[in-house]
Each structure stands twice: as C-alpha cells, then as structure tokens.
C-alpha cells in the first residue's frame, strides 16, 4: 500500500502515553502526528483524518490544553471540539482521553478553578479514578472490539484490558453503544463521590461535574463538596437544557448484593470511541485496528 493511502491520525501529545499510541497506530496501517497546539493540527496543509487522546493525567492535560490561546483566541481544546462536533472526524480517547471526551465527570479535582477541562462530545458520565490507587490497578480480560471486519475466529477471544488508576463510565446516553462492561468495587474516594451523586440524583439535581470530597475540609460530620459548574464557551443554552432533561440517569447498582457495581469500560457513539483501559500498553492491536477502520470509513465517506 502506498504511503499516500494511509490515513493521518493525530495523537494529542501534551502528556501521557502518546508514543505508545503512535507505534500501535502505525502497526495498524495509519500515519501519525504529534499534536500539541492548534497550529500542529493544520500544519503542513494536510488535514487530520482522526485523532487519539491518550492515557495520562486528565487534570494536567486539561490545564495545559486550555492554557495557551493561539491566534483567534483558540486553545487546542477549542480546536478539538470543532474537530469532533463540526468536522465529525473519528476521535478515540483512552483512560484520561476518555474523561476528556465525556460530557459529564465526577471525581474531578477539587482544587482546580474550573474543575476538569472537558472537550465533551460523548454523552457519558465518568467517574475519575473509580478503581482506586495504583496498588489496585489491574489487568483483566475484557470484551474484544466488535468484529466489523470479521477477519478470523480469533477476533472473538477476550481482550487484555490494562486498567491504570482508570476511570469508569457510570451511565451512557441513549445513542451511545456500550461495547464492554466490568464488575468492580469503587475505591473509598469514588464510593463517597457515588454516594453524594446518588443523593443529588434523588433530589433531581443535574450533575455536570463534581469534585472529590476534600476530607480535610470536613465540616463537623458533614462532608463538604466543592462543586464546579462546567464553564464551556461552546455550550449553548439549548444544549444545557438537553442535559437537564437527561437528568433521570440511573447509576449502576450493586450486582450481587456486594458493593461491586457493573460499570462500562468501552463505548462508541458515531465518530467517537472511548475505552477506560489502555490498548496502547499491550501487543494486541485489535482496538487500534478497529479505530483505524473507523478512520478509513470516515475518509471513504468524505
């Protein structure tokens, strides 16, 4: 295959495992490019065919990605929103990248002014660091990507999911296709966040973003939360209303009477793909091939 035919996939390279993604994408028939600024996205005159947001620290990525405004007052976050919502280009977020693509996020940092800077687009509610600290990070067999290509029978074998201080998807919107679930107990911090979230949902409140409980700011026996309202410039009033109507979300309950909940670890909605685990850390390239296929289909239909 000539080089010209290979699609060009940008990999957000602010921080995290971007080099690993590049290697996997290149092994899956794509060309790649590191993206740090708005200028990087258009430099060289060739438009990107897809974008990958890698694993890393979502707080750091959010702060760095929104800090620098380039010509026209646009940050790379704004450019990525256009890429996803206007251009409808395929975009895949893994772990921290998944948080960035989420519309709603709980367990965000309580010390950052505007909370987690989300790009949005995927109608899911994620809980940051659901599984706990590093000693609880784990490897587990997860459902493989859908066999759209249908190459061989081996495609059906489970996929080695690597979860590192991973987020979990608590609920997904109607149009979101769930591609994988895991059963897991939330960590101590996540459990408190979920408790508070359930209380709020019961009261009919809409939660777009909620910080973790700052245990040091305990007010008597009452836990004090610092909440942050998502201040997204691209969010119109109409969209806000849509979110509010959607407030009747249901959180996954205990599966077997224990504290374990069935949470979602992989979703797709048209041009967007999210995985809570790290396909870039394994030698199994099926998820990268699946995304490469999404990109190729998008190029062909353009």
Partner 1 sequence: MTGTNGNGNGNGSAVVGTSTVKQGLAQMLKGGVIMDVMNVEQAKIAEAAGAVAVMALERIPADIRRDGGVARMSDPSLIQEIKNAVTIPVMAKARIGHFVEAQILEACEVDYIDESEVLTMADDVHHIDKTQFSVPFVCGCRNLGEALRRIAEGASMLRTKGEAGTGNVVEAVRHARQVQGDIRRLQTMSKDELFVAAKELRAPYDLVKQIAEDGKLPIVNFAAGGVATPADAALMMQLGVDGVFVGSGIFKSANPEARARAIVQATTHYKDPKVLMDVSTGLGPAMVGICDIKGDPVNFRDREGGEYTYSGKVPPKKELSGYTETQMYGSSWNN
Q: Which of 103, 196, 280, 288 is catalytic?
A: 280
Binding mask of the shown chain, residues 13 to 52, with x at each position contacting partner 1 by CB under 8 A: xxxxxxxx---------------xx---------------
Query: 280 catalytic, yes or no?
Result: yes
> Least CB distance from residue 232 to partner 1, whole Å?
19
Which residues in 241-300 contact partner 1 (CB under 8 A)? Answer: 258-260, 262, 278, 281-282
Q: Which of 30, 95, 187, 274 is catalytic?
A: 95
Q: What is the DSSP letter of 227?
A: B
Query: 288 catalytic, yes or no?
Result: no
End-to-end Cα separation, the chain, in angstroms: 20
> Least CB distance from residue 175 to partner 1, whole Å?
25
Is the separation of the CB atoms in 176 and 269 below 8 Å? yes
Closest by CA position to 295, among listed 36, 5, 82: 5
> Which of left, alpha, beta for 16 (phi over 0: left; psi -120 to 50: alpha)?
left
Q: Give the three-class secondary structure for 131.
A: coil
Name the segment binding partner 1 (CB under 8 A); options: 12-20, 80-88, 232-240, 290-298.
12-20
> Least CB distance from residue 64 to partner 1, whole Å?
5
Give CA–CA dist 202/225, Å, rounded.
17
Query: 225 catalytic, yes or no?
Result: no
Which residue number, 154 or 204, has a Cβ lying nearer to partner 1? 154
Two tokens, residue 192? 């408190």
Candidate residues 28, 32, 129, 275; the one interacting with partner 1 per rule CB under 8 A: 129
Give the residue carrying structure tokens 């609920």. Answer: 171
142 scored as a contact of partner 1 (CB under 8 A): yes
Query: Contacts by 281-284 with C-beta closer than 8 Å and gap 24+?
Result: 281/17, 281/20, 281/162, 281/164, 282/160, 282/162, 284/159, 284/160
Binding mask of the shown chain, residues 88 to 127, with x at each position contacting partner 1 by CB under 8 A: -------xx----------xxxxxxx--------------
Q: Which of 21, 225, 278, 288 is catalytic?
A: 278
Which residue number, 3 or 134, has a Cβ lying nearer to partner 1? 134
Which residues in 163-182 contact partner 1 (CB under 8 A)? Answer: 163-165, 181-182
For residue 111, how many other CB atoms are within 10 A of its CB?
11
For residue 47, how many other CB atoms are within 10 A of its CB?
13
Please name every residue paired with 280 in a beta bridge, in sequence order, or none if there are none.
none
Is the separation of the CB atoms in 298 and 38 below 8 Å? no
Give CA–CA dist 196/213, Å, rounded.
9
Q: Which of the residues are catalytic?
A: 95, 278, 280
The residue ranges that bind partner 1 (CB under 8 A) are 13-20, 36-37, 55-57, 59-60, 63-64, 67-68, 95-96, 107-113, 128-129, 131-143, 158, 162-165, 181-185, 187, 189, 212, 214-216, 258-260, 262, 278, 281-282
């Amino acid at each position: 295959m000539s080089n010209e035919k290979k699609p060009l996939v940008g990999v957000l390279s602010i921080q995290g495992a971007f080099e690993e993604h590049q290697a996997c994408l290149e092994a899956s028939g794509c060309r790649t490019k590191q993206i740090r600024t708005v200028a990087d996205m258009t430099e060289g005159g060739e438009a990107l065919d897809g974008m990958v947001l890698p694993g890393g620290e979502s707080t750091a990525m959010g702060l760095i990605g929104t800090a620098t405004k380039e010509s026209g007052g646009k940050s790379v976050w704004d450019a990525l929103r256009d890429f996803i919502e206007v251009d409808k280009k395929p975009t895949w977020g893994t772990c921290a990248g998944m948080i960035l693509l989420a519309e709603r996020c709980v367990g965000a940092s309580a010390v950052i002014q505007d909370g987690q800077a989300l790009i949005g687009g995927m109608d899911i509610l994620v809980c940051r660091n659901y599984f706990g600290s590093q000693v609880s990070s784990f490897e587990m067999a997860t459902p493989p990507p859908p066999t759209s290509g249908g190459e061989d029978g081996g495609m059906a074998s489970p996929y080695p999911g690597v979860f590192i201080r991973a987020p979990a998807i608590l609920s997904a919107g109607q149009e979101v296709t769930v591609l994988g679930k895991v059963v897991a107990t939330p960590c101590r911090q996540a459990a408190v966040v979920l408790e508070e979230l359930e209380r709020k949902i019961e009261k009919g409140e809409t939660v777009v973003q909620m910080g973790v409980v700052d245990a040091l700011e305990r007010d008597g026996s009452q836990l004090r939360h610092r909440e942050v309202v998502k201040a997204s410039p691209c969010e119109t009033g109409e969209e806000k209303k849509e979110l509010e109507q959607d407030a009747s979300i249901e959180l996954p309950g205990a599966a077997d009477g224990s504290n374990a909940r069935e949470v979602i670890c992989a979703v797709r909605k048209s041009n967007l793909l999210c995985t809570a685990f790290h396909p870039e850390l394994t030698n199994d390239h099926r998820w990268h091939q699946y995304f490469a296929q999404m990109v190729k289909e998008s190029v062909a239909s353009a």
